[in-house]
Amino acid sequence: MSDIHAQIKDTVDQNDVVLFMKGTKSMPQCGFSSRVAQILTFMEVPFKDVNVLDSAEMRDGIKTFSDWPTIPQLYIKGEFVGGCDIITEMTLSGELDKALADAGVAFSKEAAEKIREHNG
């Protein structure tokens, strides 16, 4: 398992924002992964997507790496942020904006406001 953890760590360290998901951002394979990818895409957050369905080792490894049982998993600047429910809540509360801004990651504040406006 340490090889996959090293691979995950490299991916997380080399990209400001990484979404480990089922499928890809252009073709999500589950509703939860789709929701988080849509939020990030709508907010114009540049992010790397990692399809955990490509490898059983990756699918299992990400869960032990983060000690989090579900996918998707979002990382910002090397820090695990959460899964679908947490990211959705953070988006609606404005916490995701703050996390991205604090990490120096570019995003559309206007798009984030539209999400809150539409869901408020």
Instruction: Provide the pLDDT for residue 1.
Output: 56
Give the H or E element holding residue 7. helix 2-14
Pick from 55, 80, 54: which is nearest to 69 by CA?
80
pLDDT in tens, 102-115: 999 999 999 999 99
Q: Which CATH number fits the domain that encloses residue 96?
A: 3.40.30.10
Coil/strand/helix, residue 108? coil
Would you say the pTM of this structure is higher than 0.85?
A: yes
Q: Which residues are annotated as a binding site?
A: 30
Domains in the chain: how many in total? Answer: 1
Q: Which residues are annotated as a binding site for [2Fe-2S] cluster?
A: 30
pLDDT in tens, 55-99: 999 999 999 999 999 999 999 999 999 999 999 999 999 999 999
Structural domain of 75: 2-119
Interatomic CA distance for residues 7 and 61, integer angstroms: 10
